[in-house]
Each structure stands twice: as structure tokens, then as C-alpha cells.
Amino acid sequence: MKRVTAGERLFYLVRDEALDASERAHANWSNLATLFNQVGSDANYSNYVKGAIAVHIVRKLLRYWETEKKNCADESLYVRKVTAFIKQDVFFGLSEGLVNGLARAVVQAESASFRPINSSVKENVLREKVNLRCYLCNRALEKDACNKHASHLTLEHLWPTSIGGDSIDNNLLPACKYCQEVTKDTASWEWLNIHNLVLPSQPSEEALIAVPNKVRFARHYLEAITLADEQKISLKQAFRAIGPMRKILGHNATGSPVTFFDLQTTWEMS
């Protein structure tokens, strides 16, 4: 995937490099992955567990630095401070180069967090589409609608601004206020509770309609991430390519109980 924000770069550095490099982690993950995928009946289940751990670590690192940065007046000491925390409280046995890389990524992600969307960026995003619609539910949006109206326009940080999501064109898409409330502060699909979703092998339409919106979004996000990884494109490009979510979910008919990974949020998945 093309990573366009500081938060994404930090997350994938933790998930794909630090977790595998920590002492004998690679061998341990290989063993656990087999178990997780068997239990979850999908090759992505181990990725879910590993991603959830990475999300926890990223939040821990950023929360630490948000607080500690206020006590460090010398910018030249930023990386050193974060490096010490990583060694003492997060990872053991990483190489100096990887620890330093992580520390720099933490400092950069914290610096990118909570930055407002400037007017030129907003104008650029809104010019990308003639007819503005929510990227998730396809609701028509209006620039001048009041915030109490269903068509009120918001701009969604695809990688949340609270976790290093830069306020740049490539990290923003138009969204309705209802969908933004569902997705708020969600960093990747592993952020959300998906392991509790188990439906009958032939779920009724009512059961599919009752699937929580956060779970729907997580499945749609996984579809976008998968496409982004396959085509080496950004998350924004992937969401645009797959389009909005179906109103009524589809599912793979496997003969077994339906889990999160069997859900279909786009017609192309059918």
C-alpha cells in the first residue's frame, strides 16, 4: 500500500517490522498464525490479532509522547527520549537502527496529529467530485447544509488525525456526519471488535441488517486495504475504487457459520 500519512508509516513499521524483529517473534508468530487462522477459519484472522496488537502499541507510543513532549524543551532530544521509552517499556531486543527509526516515526506522527484542514486542502478535495456523496453510504452531501441536516458535509481523515493522520488531500474524503460518527478515530480495520460476530450459516436478511455499523465499516476497510496492497495505491484511491457499502450485506456461502471475513460490503465481492 502507498502510505501517505505519518500515522500509517508508524503503524506499518510496528506491525511489519518491529513485531517480527523482537527477539524470537518471527518464529512465535508463525506458530500462532497457524492456530489463529484455523480458529478464525480465515487466513486474515492472524493478521487481525497482529494488527490489534500493533494498534495498541501505536496508541501507547503516541500517548506517551503527547505527554512527555511538553516536558522536553530541546527538540534535539525528542528522538532520544522516545528511544529510551521504547527500550524500557515497549520492545526488547530490537536493533538500534530499528528503535531509532521507530522513535523518529513516533515524533513525526505526533507532530502530524490534530492539525486543522486548511482552506486550500478542503477546496482541492471538494473539487475532485462534481456531485458530492459520502464515500461510505453514498448519501448526497451539500456544502451549505447545517450540521443538524443529514446532508451536512464533513471531510473524513481516512487515517485518523488523532493517530498521525495528516490533514492532506490524499487522506481526506467527503463523508456524512452519521458515517463519520461510526468511523471516528478508527485506525485500520483491526481497531474494531470483529471476533464476536458469528451468524448462522444461512443468516436471514434481518440478521444481516442488524450487523453493527462499525463491523460493516471494518469489513469495507479490509476490502480497501486488500486492494491498496495488491495495486500499491493509497487508501483513498482504494476506497474510491471499491465504492460505497451495500445497504444490505452479502456473505459467502461456505456451509459453516458466517463470520466477519465472510461478509460482503460491495457487489464486486459477490
**3-state secondary structure labels for all residues of 52-82:** HHHHHHHHHHHHHHHHHHHHCCCHHHHHHHH
Give how many domains the chain has, as a whole number.
3
Residue 233 lies in a domain: yes
Whether pLDDT at 203 is above 70: yes
pLDDT tens for each residue of 99-123:
999 999 999 999 999 999 999 999 9
Same domain, 105 and 23: yes
- Grid cell, residue 80, equals 532520544
Whether pLDDT at 29 is above 70: no
Percent with pLDDT over 70 in the chain: 93
Q: pLDDT at position 24, please? A: 56
Residue 220 lies in a domain: yes
Q: pLDDT at position 209, please? A: 94
Say how far apart CA 256 and CA 71 lie, in whole Å. 55
Same domain, 178 and 210: no
pTM of the model: 0.91
Amino acid at 70: K
Same domain, 10 and 99: yes
Residue 1 lies in a domain: no
Same domain, 24 and 85: yes
pLDDT band at 25 (very low <50, low <70, confident <90, very high): low
Same domain, 122 and 108: no
Same domain, 81 and 118: no
pLDDT tens for each residue of 144-200:
898 889 899 999 999 999 999 999 999 999 999 999 999 988 989 999 989 889 999
Per the structure, the complete domain to which residue 14 belongs is given by 6-112
From residue 80, alpha-carbon distances to 29, 95, 104 in Å are 29, 15, 9
Same domain, 237 and 222: yes
Mean pLDDT of the region 129-157: 92
